[in-house]
Copies of this chain bind each other. A is one copy, B any other.
Amino acid sequence: MSVVPDGLIQSLEDVATRLRIDSIRATTAAGSGHPTSCASAADLVAATFFAAMRFDPDHPRAVTSDRFVLSKGHAAPVLYAAWAEVGLVKRDELTTLRQLDSDLEGHPTPRLPFVDVATGSLGQGLGVGMGLALGARLAGADARTFVLLGDGETAEGSVWEAAETAAHHHVENLIAIVDVNALGQSGPTMLGHDVRAYQRRFAAFGWRAQIIDGHDMAQIVAALRRARRARGAPSAVIARTVKGKGIEGVEGLEGWHGKPLPNDAAEKAIAVLERRLHHLPPPPIARPRSSRPATTPPPAANVPDVPGGEVATREAYGTALVRVGARDPRVVALDGDVKNSTYAERFLQAFPDRFVEAFIAEQNMVSVAAGLAAQGRVPFASSFACFLSRAADQLRMAGISRSNLKLCGSHAGVSIGEDGPSQMALEDLAIFRAVPEAVVFYPADGVSTDACVQLAAAHTGIVYIRTTRMKTPAVYPADETFTVGGSKTLRASDGDRLTIVAAGITLHEALAAHADLAAAGIPVRVIDLYCVKPVDAAALLAAARATGNTLLTVEDHYREGGLGDAVLEAVADAGVITHRLAVREIPRSGPPRKLLERYGIGRGAIVTEVRRIVGARS
C-alpha cells in the first residue's frame, strides 16, 4: 500500500476547506441550495480532482481525459468550486449561482464545458459514467470515469442496473464513490451509516468495494488510487461521511437538507473553516499519459442495400443501422435483450465491437447511451417502444443535456396484435414529443425508414424513430429523399374533399381507404407525416386550405399527445377543422388487422369517418 505524503494531504485538505467555504458562500448568496450535501462530499471531491483523476483542464471533454460525474447533482456548488480550483470557473463567479443567465445553475447542466450530462434527477450518474467509460475503452483511451453518488440515491434501481451491467461488461475504468452521509432529504436513509451493507451490495453485483472514512484524506487518496489501478471489474469506494461536515452548527443534523445558511451563520462557519487552512496551493493537476488515441477506421462490412419491397419497418431499421454504421465509425448500437425483435442484431453481427447489450434495463441503456454520446459517439438504442417509457426520466434529462441520442422503438401500437396491451406503445409519441428539441420520425416503409436512420445519424440531438411490427408494402422508390420536418403528399387531386394525415401503419390504412373512397367518388388527399416533430406546418396548412379547410388525422396511438396533437399544434391558430381517429380505449389481444378496425383506425373506420364528415358538410 502506497503512502500518501503529508504535503499532499495538507494541500488536499486546503482544497476541501475552500470547497466548503465556496459552497457556503454561493448558496448563502443565492438564498437556496444544498451546502450540507456539498460539505459531506468536499474531501472526496478534492481528492478525486487533485489526487486521482488525470485530465486535460483545457480539454475536459477529450476522450483521453478522466471524467467526473456528479450524480448527486444537488451538490452542484462543490462541483463548481472544484472547477474553480482547477481554473475553469472564476472564483468570483461562484456567487452568481442560480441567477438567471449564470451557467452555474441549481443543478449542473452541459451549458458548462466540464459537465457531460445534466444531473439532478438522482440515480442516473452511474449509468452515464458507464457510457463515458465504455466510450473511452472503445477509443482505446486509458481514461477513467469517476462518479460521485449520494447514499440516498442508491435507492434508485437505475443504480443497480448500471452496477450489474458494468460488472458484466468488465468496465474496469468506472469508479463509483458513494457519499454515505446517512441523511436523505426528509429523513434518514434506509441504510444509515451501515457502510458494510453498501459494500455487500456492490460486491454482490460484481464490483470491488472498499470502505473508507470519507473525511480522512489519506484513506480517500489511497482508496481512489487503488480503484484507479484496479482491473477486471469496476470499483466502488464507500465513504462514511457526515452531512454538513465542517460547518459549525449544522454538522450531522437532520433538517438541513437543501437549506442555505443565513448570512451571519455563514460568516461564522466560514471563519471557523478559514482557521483550518494550511494556506497551500492545490496540488498540480495530473495530465493524461497519452495523447488523443488514433481513431480506428470502421471494420469492413458488407453494406446492405436500401431495404425496399414489402418489409417490416423494424426490420428495415436493422438494415439501415448496418448501413449507417458502415459509413460512420461513431455509430454504436445498444439493445435491451430484444435485438432479435428490433433487428438491432444485424448491427451486432456486422460490428460486434460497437454493440452494447444492455439487457432488460432500459433506464440504464439510455443513460449509457448518453454517456457514449458525451464521448462523441452516435448511439442508437432500441427496444420495444412501450419499454422505452421505462426510461422517460432518463430521456427527460437527456433532453436537458441536449444529448446526441438516437432511440428506436419497435412494435408500436395495437397493430402488434396478440401480445396485448402491455406490449403496445400507445403513448410513446406523447413522451418523445415532450422531450425538448427532439425529432420524432414515424416511417411507413423500408426506404423511408432507412432515410430516417440516416437523417438521425446526421442530426445533432435526440431523435426517436417509431417502427412497426408487421410487414408493410413499399411506398417510395429507393432514391426518394426525406428531411427533418418534412412530409409527403401521396394522393392529391383538385377536388379533394379533405386531407387524411397518417404515418407508419395507418398510412397504409389511409391509402387503402383513399382507394375505396375514390371508387365511391369521394376524392381525398393523403399526407405521410413521417416526421411527427418538427411538424410540416406549411404543408398541412396548404393541404387543409385546398381541401375544404378540413383534416383527418389517423394514428395507432392514444388520442393524447401523438400525431393528432402534432397536427393540431401546426394548424390550431389557423382555424382549420381537424377530425381525429386514434385509439380511445385500453385495447385487447387479437389479430392485428382486426384490432386496427376494432379500435377505429383501420381502412374501414377511415372510410366511415370520411363519409360522416363529408356527409355532414354537404
Contacts and interface: CB of A to CB of B under 8 A. Distances in A.
Interface of A: 30-33, 73, 98-102, 105-107, 109, 118-123, 152-153, 155-161, 164-165, 168, 184-187, 189-190, 197, 200-201, 203-206, 335, 337-341, 345, 357, 359-361, 363-364, 386-387, 389-390, 392-393, 396-397, 399-400, 402, 417-423, 426-427, 430-431, 433-437, 533, 549, 558-562, 564-566, 568-569, 572-580, 585-586, 588-591, 594-595, 598
Contact of A73 (B164, B422, B436, B568): B422
9 contacts: A98-B589, A106-B418, A123-B360, A185-B338, A389-B396, A431-B431, A436-B558, A564-B569, A573-B577
Nearest to A159: B157
Given A436-B585, A589-B100, A575 B576 contact: yes
Contacts of A32: 417-419
Contact of A186 (B338, B392, B586): B338
Given A152-B337, A392-B389, A533-B560, A359 B420 contact: no
Contacts of A419: 32, 98, 106-107, 120
User: Counting chain B CB atoms within 10 Å of each CB, which of A164, A437, A598 scores highest?
Assistant: A164
A120 B423 CA distance: 7
Nearest to A552: B573
Contacts of A572: 568, 572, 577-580
Contact of A157 (B168, B340, B363): B363
Contacts of A386: 121, 393, 396
Considering the complex of A and B, which 6 residue pairs feature the smallest CB-CB distances, nearest first? A157-B157, A120-B422, A100-B590, A392-B392, A427-B434, A561-B561
B205 A99 contact: no
A121 B419 CA distance: 11
A397 B121 CA distance: 22
A422 B121 contact: yes
Could you say how many copies of this chain the assembly holds? 2
Contacts of A164: 155, 190
Given A155-B164, A419-B107, A594-B100, A565 B575 contact: no
Contact of A390 (B105, B121, B201): B121
Given A190-B165, A430-B433, A561-B565, A420 B105 contact: yes
Given A396-B389, A575-B576, A586 B402 contact: yes
A560 B549 CA distance: 23
A437 B421 CA distance: 14
B360 A420 contact: no
Contacts of A430: 430-431, 433-434, 560-561
A590 B364 CA distance: 30
A185 B341 contact: yes
A360 B153 contact: yes
A402 B586 CA distance: 9
Nearest to A567: B572
A296 B512 CA distance: 61
Contacts of A118: 421-422
A156 B157 contact: yes
B433 A560 contact: yes
A500 B123 CA distance: 40
A190 B73 CA distance: 30
Nearest to A337: B184
A417 B576 CA distance: 37
